Amino acid sequence: MPQGQPDYVPDDGLTTRQRRHRPLVMVHTGPGKGKSTAAFGLATRAWAQGWSIGVFQFVKSAKWRIGEERALRTLAESGEGGTVSWNKMGEGWSWIRHRRATEDHAADAAEGWEQIKRDLAAETHRLYVLDEFTYPMKWGWVDVEDVVATLAQRPGTQHVVITGRDADPRLVDAADLVTEMSKVRHPMDVGQKGQRGIEW
Amino acid sequence: MPQGQPDYVPDDGLTTRQRRHRPLVMVHTGPGKGKSTAAFGLATRAWAQGWSIGVFQFVKSAKWRIGEERALRTLAESGEGGTVSWNKMGEGWSWIRHRRATEDHAADAAEGWEQIKRDLAAETHRLYVLDEFTYPMKWGWVDVEDVVATLAQRPGTQHVVITGRDADPRLVDAADLVTEMSKVRHPMDVGQKGQRGIEW
Per-residue pLDDT band at A89 (split at 50, 70, 90): confident
More confident residue, B15 or A169: A169
Query: Is there a contact between B181 and A177 if contact means CB atoms under 8 Å apart?
Result: no
Size of chain B in residues: 200
Mean pLDDT (whole number) for B102-128: 92
This complex has an ipTM of 0.71
Selected for mutation to probe chain B from A198, A199, A200 (highest B CB count within 10 Å) is: A198
Looking at CA atoms only, how far is residue B127 from chain A in angstroms?
9
- Strands B83-88 and B52-57 come out as parallel
Residue of B nearest to A4 (CA): B193
Query: Is there a contact between A33 and B78 if contact means CB atoms under 8 Å apart?
Result: no
Among the partner residues A9, A70, A191, nearest to B9 by beta-carbon distance:
A191
Highest mean pLDDT among A16-30, B31-45, B97-111: B31-45
Query: Is there a contact between A46 and B33 if contact means CB atoms under 8 Å apart?
Result: no
Whole-number pLDDT of residue B59: 83
DSSP-assigned beta bridge partners for residue B134: none
Other CB atoms within a 10 A radius of the CB of residue B124 amount to: 15
Whole-number pLDDT of residue A1: 41
Whole-number pLDDT of residue B34: 87
More confident residue, B177 or A198: B177
Whether B132 has a pLDDT exceeding 90, the answer reads yes
Residue type, B130: L
Q: Which residues of A are less than 8 Å from B172 in CB distance?
A: 184-185
Mean pLDDT (whole number) for B92-119: 81
In angstroms, rounded to a whole number, what is the distance separating the alpha carbons of residues A147 and A172? Answer: 12
Among the partner residues B24, B179, B200, nearest to A198 by beta-carbon distance:
B24
Query: Is there a contact between B197 and A127 if contact means CB atoms under 8 Å apart?
Result: yes
Q: What is the mean pLDDT of chain A?
A: 84
Whole-number pLDDT of residue A17: 59
Whole-number pLDDT of residue A76: 94
Mean pLDDT (whole number) for A169-180: 93
Mean pLDDT (whole number) for A98-120: 84
Whole-number pLDDT of residue B77: 94
Full-prediction pTM beyond 0.90?
A: no
Size of chain A in residues: 200
Per-residue pLDDT band at A7 (split at 50, 70, 90): low
Q: Which residues of A are less than 8 Å from B29 in CB distance?
A: 184
Whether B18 has a pLDDT exceeding 70, the answer reads no
Per-residue pLDDT band at B113 (split at 50, 70, 90): very high
| pLDDT, tens digit, 9 for 90 and up, residues A113-167 | 999 999 999 999 999 999 999 999 999 999 999 999 999 999 999 999 999 999 9
Query: Is there a contact between A44 and B41 if contact means CB atoms under 8 Å apart?
Result: yes
Torsion on CA atoms A68, A74, A76, A77, rounded to nearest 10: 160
Whole-number pLDDT of residue A34: 87
In angstroms, rounded to a whole number, what is the distance separating the alpha carbons of residues A163 and B73? Answer: 27
Task: Give yes or no for a contact between A177 and A159, defined as CB atoms under 8 angstroms apart.
Answer: no
Residue type, A12: D
Q: Which residues of B are less than 8 Å from A184 in CB distance?
A: 27, 29, 172, 178-180
Whole-number pLDDT of residue B154: 97
Q: What is the mean pLDDT of chain B?
A: 84
Whole-number pLDDT of residue B99: 57
Domains and CATH numbers, chain A: 21-95+105-182 (3.40.50.300)
Q: Is B99 exposed, middle or buried (0-12, 13-18, 19+ CB in 10 A)?
A: exposed
More confident residue, B104 or A39: A39
Query: Is there a contact between B184 and A180 if contact means CB atoms under 8 Å apart?
Result: yes
- Give the distance from CA B34 to its chain's centroid: 13
A with B: how many residue pairs have Cβ under 8 Å apart?
241
Whole-number pLDDT of residue B102: 57
Coil, helix or strand for B117?
A: helix
Side-by-side strand order, sheet with A127-131 = A83-88, A52-57, A127-131, A159-163, A25-29, A177-185, B177-185, B25-29, B159-163, B127-131, B52-57, B83-88
Task: Give yes or no for a contact between A176 and B185, defined as CB atoms under 8 angstroms apart.
Answer: yes
| pLDDT, tens digit, 9 for 90 and up, residues A61-79 | 645 688 889 999 999 999 9
DSSP-assigned beta bridge partners for residue B17: none
